[in-house]
């Protein structure tokens, strides 16, 4: 509701700017008698301007303190009104001393500035609703915590999105012994979820990948593949190995480098190379991207 309220206020600010431009253009095309501003009116406008500026500054400051985007946006709305009032006062002074009416032109310029500010605010609101990437240090902290748990051999994938102040939601994939019982996996998943929650992250899912830990031959195959992967400049790392001798199947995941011009070709070339080394096995490689 906080984000939706911020979005609504932002849209109102932009509509205000658009309406002001339309009215200003209409008044320029069809000019009416210039308004007469006496001293009392100017004094009231100055007082109103001071109050709006003060109110807007206080709202934004307090909104940042309590982490309320809606309150911050309300403060920006007050500041937008203040900018319009400044433009009107400037037009009054120019009219008074130079006898030239630029009120409507100033309103158009100020309105364009308000709309530009509204677009930036709108982008920020939508970004928070959709989720943003997180601080790498926070992600590293979560990943290290999970990797330290007994029974976790690797953390292949960790996806975290930030949905506003201290609101982190994501999922993780862990690599465990393929012979681990379901009850042990459940206990481990719950433990990871609880610890992540203590660090400020809500875990929506814990994916499980089984790996061979008791087969010497499987270890040799994994080490051979890792040596090949390390020599490939287009692959960051490989993980989540499964070697099934009964089905004659090798499967694992790779993380491609971001600057790889053709990730599909890199994956297929690796499959072809491994197929010549292990002709009796079927090779399956899954490409994953760390987010």
Same domain for 255 and 157: no
Give residue 290's pLDDT. 58
Q: Is the pLDDT of residue 291 over 60?
A: no
The pLDDT mean for the chain works out to 83
Most trustworthy range by pLDDT among 91-95, 100-104, 145-149: 145-149
Within this chain, do residues 186 and 250 fall inside the same structural domain, yes or no?
no
Judge whether residue 252 has pLDDT over 70: yes
CA distance 219 to 261: 31
Residues 155 and 260 in one domain: no
pLDDT at 281: 92
Do 54 and 171 have their domain in common? no
For the segment 168-186, the average pLDDT, to the nearest whole number, is 89
Mean pLDDT, residues 223-244 taken together: 88
pTM of the model: 0.52
Pairing of the two strands 201-211 and 235-244: unpaired
Boundary residue ending a domain (112, 130, 148):
130
pLDDT band for position 195 (cuts 50, 70, 90)? very high
For residues 146 and 188, membership in a common domain is answered with yes
Same domain, 112 and 14: yes
Count structural domains, the chain.
3
Q: Which residues contact 251 (CB under 8 A, 6 or more apart)?
A: 240, 241, 242, 283, 284, 285, 286
Q: Are residues 41 and 109 in the same domain?
A: yes
pLDDT at residue 229 tops 60:
yes
- Rounded Cα gap, residues 23 and 29, in angstroms: 10
**8 A C-beta contact, residue 9 and residue 73:** yes
Query: Does 185 share its domain with 260?
Result: no
Residue with more model confidence, 181 or 162: 181
Q: Does 279 lie in the same domain as 235?
A: yes
Same domain? For 6 and 96 the reply is: yes
The last residue of a domain, from among 174, 193, 211: 211
Question: Span 170-176, mean pLDDT?
Answer: 89
Q: Are 172 and 147 in contact (CB under 8 A)?
A: no
- CATH code for position 180: 3.30.70.1350
Range of the domain at 230: 216-287
| In a shared domain, residues 143 and 193 | yes
Which CATH number covers residue 56? 1.20.1510.10
Is the same domain home to 202 and 254? Answer: no
Sign of CA dihedral 15, 17, 20, 26: negative
> In this structure, what is the dihedral angle of CA atoms 213, 216, 219, 223, given to the nearest 10 degrees?
160
Domain final residue pick, 130, 157, 179: 130
């Amino acid at each position: 509701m906080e984000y939706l309220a911020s979005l609504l206020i932002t849209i109102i600010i932009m509509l205000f700017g658009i309406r002001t431009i339309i009215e200003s253009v209409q008044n320029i095309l069809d000019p009416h008698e210039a308004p007469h501003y006496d001293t009392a009116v100017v004094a009231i406008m100055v007082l109103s301007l001071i109050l709006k500026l003060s109110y807007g500054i206080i709202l934004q400051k307090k909104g940042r303190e309590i982490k309320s985007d809606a309150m911050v946006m309300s403060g920006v709305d007050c500041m937008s009104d203040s900018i319009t009032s400044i433009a009107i006062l400037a037009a009054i002074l120019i009219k008074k001393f130079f006898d030239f009416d630029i009120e409507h032109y100033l309103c158009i310029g100020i309105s364009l500035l308000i709309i530009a500010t509204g677009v930036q605010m709108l982008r920020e609101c939508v970004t928070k609703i959709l989720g943003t990437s997180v601080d790498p240090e926070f992600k590293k902290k979560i990943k290290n915590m999970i990797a330290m748990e007994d029974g976790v051999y690797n953390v292949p994938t960790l996806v975290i999105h930030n949905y506003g102040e201290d609101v982190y939601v994501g999922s993780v994939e862990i690599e465990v012994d393929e012979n681990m019982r379901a009850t042990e996996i459940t206990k481990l998943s719950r433990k990871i979820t609880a610890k992540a929650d203590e660090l400020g992250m809500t875990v929506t899912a814990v994916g499980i990948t089984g790996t061979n830990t008791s087969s010497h031959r499987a270890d040799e195959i994994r080490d051979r593949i890792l040596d090949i992967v390390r020599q490939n400049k287009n692959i960051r790392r490989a993980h989540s190995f499964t070697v099934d001798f009964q089905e004659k199947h090798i499967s694992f995941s790779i993380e491609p480098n971001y600057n790889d011009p053709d990730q599909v070709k890199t994956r297929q070339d690796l499959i072809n190379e491994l197929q010549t080394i292990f002709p009796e096995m079927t090779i399956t490689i899954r490409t994953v991207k760390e987010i």
